[in-house]
Amino acid sequence: MRHFRRKASGPLVAIVFWTVASLITLFPVYWMFAVSAKSRVQLFGSPSFLISSFFTENYLSTLSDPAFQRYMTNSIVIATSNALLVTALALLATYALSRYKLPGKENLFFWTITNRMAPPAVFLLPLFLLYTQVFVVADVKLFDTKIGLILLYCVFNLPFAIWTLRGVIDGIPKELDEAAFVDGANTWQVLTQVILPLAKPGLAVTGILTWVFAWNEYLFAATLTSVNARTITTGLAEFVTVTGTNWGRMAATAMLTLVPALLVLGLAQRHIVAGLTFGAVKE
């Protein structure tokens, strides 16, 4: 009996621990949900964490708001384009770094990360000037464009993505490339038919983290956009006005921004399968 109890106590402690940890993590989300489900009167009348009746107006008015729709679309387009672009470029870059003899490639590799060493705010003013004054062709500027934000996020995410993927690509045995070359593949076919499928877990992780970075980014989105390219994070801040804050709408908006994030996580998670390279070459 003692033997059994000792065995069971391990999982039990773990279950209790993780349950408490999850509750602590999820509590703010629940709080936000509770706020979003209440009218102004309910919210300020008798504050409570419980939801007595679901007040749908916050959600309905948010969803039908053209500004919300535009911000949401912008965010989805920007975050997704950024994630795809960064992941694709990082794959090409790390493949080259891993497989080719480039003079000074370790320096190059290190240099890519240096732009993450200063606080992002340092770049704010120069970027604002570049986007409004310098990168201007006729009437076209990068300021307040989706492309502008996508490119900027690429600059910030690419180094990080290269650092994440380097180990993944280095971990794929070079003999697999060589076997494919001998089998008649060209470099592109090696990349798409051998490297890409094997790097999938790493690419998925890189993609998610990049996507989340762009999805959550506030500072640059707020500074480098005004009307057309505003994202949902900056949109959230617009509920705070001089005349007061619409807490219910704000919470509903925040809840709705969680939905795409959960979808992306769910989609990417299916590709994160460990141990995919096992059995390629004899260890």
Partner 1 sequence: MAPVTITNVRKRYGSAEVIHGVSVNIEDGEFVILVGPSGCGKSTLLRMVAGLEEISSGDVRIGGKVVNDRPPKDRDIAMVFQNYALYPHMTVYDNMSFSLRLKRRPVSEIDSKVRHAASILDLEKLLDRYPRQLSGGQRQRVAMGRAIVRDPQVFLFDEPLSNLDAKLRVQMRAEIKELHQRLKTTTIYVTHDQIEAMTMADKIVVMHDGVVEQIGAPLELYDRPKNLFVAGFIGSPAMNFIEGQVSAVNGQPAMTTDDGVVLPVSVPRALLQTGQRLVYGIRPEHITLGEGGPAAHVSVIEPTGSETQVFMKLGSNPLVGVFRERIALHPGERLGIRLDPGKAHLFDKTSGQRLA
Residues making contact with partner 1 (CB under 8 A): 173, 175-176, 178-186, 189, 193-194, 197-198, 276-282
Q: Return the number of the residue (119 or 184) whose C-beta is nearest partner 1.
A: 184
Amino acid at 98: S
**Closest distance of CB 211 from partner 1, Å:** 24
Eight-state DSSP code of residue 272: -
Per the CB < 8 A criterion, the answer to whether 271 and 200 are in contact is yes
Coil, helix or strand at residue 240 = strand
Per DSSP (E only), the strands in the chain are 136-137, 140-141, 240-241, 244-245
Measure the CA–CA gap between 75 and 215, rounded to whole angstroms.
6
Question: Which two structure tokens, joined as six digits, stand for 73?
Answer: 């679309």
Count the Cβ atoms, other than its own, within 10 Å of residue 203.
Answer: 24
> Is beta strand 136-137 parallel, antiparallel or unpaired with respect to 140-141?
antiparallel
HSE, CB side, 13 Å, CA atoms: give it for residue 259: 11
**Closest distance of CB 44 from partner 1, Å:** 58
Q: Return the number of the residue (158 or 165) whose C-beta is nearest partner 1.
A: 165
Coil, helix or strand at residue 245 = strand
**Closest distance of CB 204 from partner 1, Å:** 14
- Give the H/E segment covering residue 244: strand 244-245
**Closest distance of CB 179 from partner 1, Å:** 4
Q: Return the number of the residue (194 or 252) whose C-beta is nearest partner 1.
A: 194
Per DSSP, what are the bridge partners of residue 241? 244
Per the CB < 8 A criterion, the answer to whether 58 and 252 are in contact is yes
Q: Return the number of the residue (33 or 181) whose C-beta is nearest partner 1.
A: 181
Q: Return the number of the residue (57 or 183) whose C-beta is nearest partner 1.
A: 183
**Closest distance of CB 185 from partner 1, Å:** 6
Q: Return the number of the residue (199 or 229) whose C-beta is nearest partner 1.
A: 199
**Closest distance of CB 97 from partner 1, Å:** 20
Q: Return the number of the residue (179 or 209) whose C-beta is nearest partner 1.
A: 179
**Closest distance of CB 110 from partner 1, Å:** 23
Question: Which two structure tokens, joined as six digits, stand for 140?
Answer: 């076209």
